[in-house]
Chains A and B, each alone.
Chain A
Amino acid sequence: MNSEDDTQKVQRLLLDKALTKGIQQNEKQCKIWTDYKKGHQNVAETLQIFQKDLYVNCMVPIGKRALMKGKLIHTNEILACLGDGYFAKYSASGAAALCERRIQRADEMLKKLSAERDLYETKMMMIKNNVFEDYVGREIVEHWNEDQIVEWKKKHREREREYHQKLAKVRQEKNKKIETEDLFNRLDQLEIEEELADEFNRLEDEKYELFNEDELEEGECYYESENSSESEEEEKEKDKNEEKGKEKEKKEEKGKEKEKEEEKGDSKEDYKEVPGINQLKVETHKVKKLVSFAEPEDLLKKEKENLIKEKEKSSKKVVDSEEDILRIEFNHSENKLVTKSDGNSIETPADIYRLFSKPKSILKRSPNDLNPEQAPIEYSTEEGEDDDDDENAVKPSAYETVVKDIKEKNTVEVIKEVLEKKEESKDTRPISKFKRDRQLRL
């Protein structure tokens, strides 16, 4: 097992290395192609610019280290390198088109490279997350004979049969239960509906009985009540005064009616859940209105009084709440205002701002516009340093500085440091025998 694990580890390491190498190469390629693309974009732009002029002044490079003043002529005649030492003469627009084609190709390559990178990264992720950990290196082994299989098949068939039978039984039972339950539920529902219908019919009958006396007036009243807007009621008061006598009788009757209705209402409340009760309720409301409009003036007055009382109450409440509010009264002190102070003295908060938080320029500092107070100091120090440097540099002869390379570090100290470090990590990193031998042979 150990050897297997080891080989697995080695394999994984190798794979890891290969993948990282692949990613690095991919990055390199990406960089090359992006540079290629950018270069061609630049060329296309410059071509556009050169195309406009007959000639362009420029510095002609002579080798890498020298330039000469000159000018570009024939700006519409471009010699493009096709590779392998072959050149083709293009017009400016033709060269621009060539650039475009090359940019497109670069784009395609970049797309492919990014796809490749994605693939690499997903592979890395898989390895890191050990997606195939459980399946790698383990073979699925099952120990079976022909006989065992035959036996197993027989058993399996029996079990299946049993299972199916059981399943069928369970289903039947379920069906039965459902049927019986459904039936009972349905019956209950029907019963309730019937009762409700009966009740409804009964109520309607009662109503008719009660309202049958002096039908006409009742009809009027009913009508008025249905239009129950208070203004109308007031207008019709006079007419009603004539009928007051009759109405009193009605009132008595309606009082009774009301009581009954209320009783019914109570009884109806028991059936609230049942549909159709809304209608009943509406009707009860109607009946109640019939009673209430008997003395609309009083009602109005009462309402008004109530309103007034409420208003008073609310106003009182407001007053109370106002009394509860805490008030802070203050006076300005008699000190004189100090708007400005001279010099560096701090008398008001404004002085702190004036003295310490001066606006800072976002521009780069140049020695010309330094603060007059600070400038000379900095300058002098810098110069001093420069002088020191010069002196140091001049002391060990011109040959040293010009020909020899300026050494930044003292090698002896570096050696010491390195050795110290090595001593610390010496035990952890011994050198192999082979390596030592190789070094000796050098």
Chain B
Amino acid sequence: MNPDIQRKILEFETFVNDVLKEDLAQLEQKLNVKNADIAEFLELKATITTFKNNGLDKNGFKTQVDIGQNFFIEAQVSDASTILLDIGLGHYLELSIDDAVAVINVRVKLLEQQIKHFRKEIARTNAHIKLILLGIRELQGFDDKM
């Protein structure tokens, strides 16, 4: 086989293995993180709506708080009309429950967009990989129809 072609094939292979597949792994990881985030926000939204529906925000409620290693102590929340929401980078913002729901909605929307973007990226990377593999096959002189 032509040494030039062989060299080219090697380059393509390394590109697929060391660049594209690495990128793919990273993207998947990011996608997972975003999915987890969105799940958390949705859960929070559900909790808040249950608070509202049952009128707990005015009456207060009792709950069990984990103080580490699955040891629970009973806690009482007397005023559930405000909530401190994590707005990123370890900052918490005190919001009324209605505002919190609005913010959560925005965040969920944003996350959805990000997830969409990542999905697209992943698809693109996969396409690149496929394309290069096809190119390699052609270079090696195999028939297209296996």
Contacts and interface: CB of A to CB of B under 8 A. Distances in A.
Interface of A: 36, 39-40, 42-43, 46-47, 50, 55, 58-75, 77-81, 87, 95, 99, 102, 402-405, 411, 414-415, 418-419, 422-423, 426, 430-431, 436, 439-440, 442
A78 B73 contact: yes
CB-CB nearest 3 A-B residue pairs: A81-B70, A70-B77, A79-B72
Contacts, number: 146
6 contacts: A60-B63, A60-B77, A66-B83, A68-B84, A78-B73, A81-B72
Nearest to B46: A63
B13 A439 contact: yes
A39 B63 CA distance: 22
B117 interface: yes
Contacts of A423: 7, 11
B113 A68 contact: no
Contacts of B77: 60, 68-70
Interface string B92-129: 10000000100000000010011001100000000001
B69 A43 contact: yes
Interface of B: 7, 10-11, 13-19, 23, 30, 40-41, 43-44, 47, 62-65, 67-80, 82-86, 92, 100, 110, 113-114, 117-118, 129-130, 133, 136-137, 140, 142
A70 B78 contact: yes
A77 to B, nearest CB: 6
A61 B80 CA distance: 12
Nearest to B94: A69
Given A40-B69, A78-B73, A80-B70, A67 B83 contact: yes
A46 to B, nearest CB: 6
Most buried by A among B69, B79, B133, B142: B69
A362 B92 CA distance: 32
Contacts of A77: 73-74
Q: Is the interface of A mostly helix, strand, loop or mixed?
A: mixed
A436 B133 CA distance: 10
A431 B71 contact: no
A69 B60 CA distance: 11
Contact of B71 (A43, A418, A439, A442): A43
B65 A65 contact: no
B71 A79 contact: yes
A34 to B, nearest CB: 13
Given A43-B69, A62-B83, A426 B113 contact: no
Contact of B65 (A61, A405, A411): A61
A40 B68 CA distance: 8
